[in-house]
Amino acid sequence: MPLVANSELPAFAALRAEGETVLPREAALRQDIRELHIGLLNMMPDAALAATERQFFRLVGESNQIAQFYVHPFTLAGLERDAEARAHIRQYYEDFEEVRSAGLDALIITGANVTQPDLALEPFWRPLIEVIDWAYNNVTSTLCSCLATHAVLQFRYGQKRRRLPDKRWGVYPHRITDRRHPLVRGVNTRFDVPHSRYNQIDRGQFEAAGLTVLIESEAAGVHLAVSADGFRLVFLQAHPEYDTVSLLKEYKREVLRFAHRERDDYPPFPEDYFTPQVQAILGEYAETLHAARSNGKPIPEIPEGLITPHLDNTWHDTAEAIVNNWVGKIYQVTHSDRRRPFMDGVDPEDPLGLRTRPD
């Protein structure tokens, strides 16, 4: 069954407006169907808070249709928020203590903006470790996205990310490197995934940590890796949850930073994202913006209406398939009491039976 609107969080209404199926809580309670409770530790900055909710909720809701999905958003106190975001969190989010007390079947941890050269210096570092340590021992599987992947690799495996010469930004082709793993079963052998980051964990670091790389890009590096047991920790370094327009929104933000003299250079295009026609439109816009900035005139609006019809999404189906596999395995190995992370008879060190599976 679909997502259950277990609160008045606006993301549920937004997903309904997109055509997604979201079940009212009252209707869900009348159905004799097992529930799965999935936490969302949302560490994204204020401007992306609601969009990130929708993106991950959408992927969960489009997956395994044999359960009701209750999603529990929460965040960390160490993240700086403006008044509007704080009000949103107070009204719609749960406290970590509430989540810990009730238990979860699975957990998703988003990325975050950072301000320090070392992740260990960030104000959210200790609270994040507390959440991940709890989840490792009490939640069947935790999916770490982007910054969360880098944080776990650093504090649990001693592998620090490295700074890239330039921002890794665009849509890149990827290939599956281990087709036997249940998380990539039924997934195309080649597909695209968006990346957007200044730092990277390299393949050798994943392997040195004893992790298995499942998906990689020759141009952009590792996308998907898993812990030694194949499931307890799932690492994403790219952004399969992105909307079709997400990179456009990021590009627009960087253009406005240039317009307001917050960056010196005009931002480059995300790689392999804009069509030649869109690049021409944005090239004309750049000339108009340069002239306006030089003459002290108002900054013109980016013509998004001319651009969005030419943007393609070449990654969502694959993301949906992987999350569907993830949720399906969680359903198979969890107990109906979500305070018990594994069913009787399932080896918590090898929940997928990977060690006994023939090559």
Give the whole-angstrom CA distance, residue 136 versus residue 140. Answer: 8
DSSP secondary structure of 103-116: --SEEEE------S
**Residue given tokens 């890009």 in the structure block:** 217
Q: Among 72, 144, 146, 195, which one carries the catalytic annotation?
A: 146
Instruction: Verify whether residue 260 is a known catalytic residue.
Output: no
223 is catalytic: no
Q: Provide the 10 A C-beta neighbour count for residue 252.
A: 17
CA 301, CA 309: separation in Å to the nearest integer?
Answer: 17
Distances (CA, A) of 119 to 199, 253, 292: 11, 24, 39
- Which whole-number Å values give the CA distances from 270 to 146, 275, 293, in the listed order? 18, 11, 23
241 is catalytic: yes
Name the active-site residue from 53, 122, 241, 250.
241
For the sheet with 162-176, list strands across it: 22-24, 3-5, 68-74, 35-41, 106-109, 141-145, 233-236, 221-226, 212-217, 162-176, 190-200
- For residues 342 and 330, the answer to whether their CB atoms sit within 8 Å is no
Catalytic residue among 195, 239, 254, 316: 239
Distance CA 209, CA 200 (A): 15
Nearest to 111, CA basis, from 58, 158, 150: 150
Count of helices and strands (H, E) across the chain? 12, 11
- Residues annotated catalytic, as ranges: 146, 239, 241
